[in-house]
Amino acid sequence: MKQILDACCGSRMFWFDKEHPAAVFMDNRSFGKTLCDGRRFEVRPDLIADFREIPFPDESFRLVVFDPPHLRRAGNSSWLGIKYGVLESTWQNDLRRGFEECMRVLRTHGVLIFKWSEDQISTADILKLLPAQPLFGNRRGKTVWMVFMKFPEE
């Protein structure tokens, strides 16, 4: 069993090793597209699945990466919409459910890395949706990386 789940892998853009053998790369889409400047953009997950219903048993992974779509609106053929995906009108419940699913498949004392872009929705608004607060994080421009740990229930 692999130890890492990337629940919304997209093009695996922040991975140094885009084929890391310990990781399961999951996304709800799979496609390739040639962009207007000739570059090729591909989303090729190991597993096509929805982050709101992760198809793994409880406590399956030591590390989960959660980089969900962060745009509420983008043009149908816009580069940002293609690259990052667009949230549905149910985005608040979707993100809450996705976070809960990521924590469910995380082992006790496992780590969840949550990446968020504040392009259209603030991190403060996202944190209000979540049942836990990050231990720490880092902000660079509009991108925020947050670290959570799954602690045993008391």
Summarize pLDDT for 101-154 with one digit per residue, the tens.
999 999 999 999 999 999 999 999 999 999 999 999 999 999 999 999 999 985
**Confidence tier at 72 by pLDDT (50, 70, 90):** very high
Q: Collapsing DSSP states into helix, strand and coil, what is residue 7?
A: coil
- The correct CATH number of 4-149 out of 3.40.50.150, 3.40.50.1370, 3.40.47.10, 3.10.580.10 is 3.40.50.150
How far is it, in rounded angstroms, from Cα 116 to Cα 97? 16
Contact yes or no for 32/40 (Cβ under 8 A): yes
pLDDT, averaged across the chain: 94
pTM: 0.93
* 3-class SS of residue 80: helix
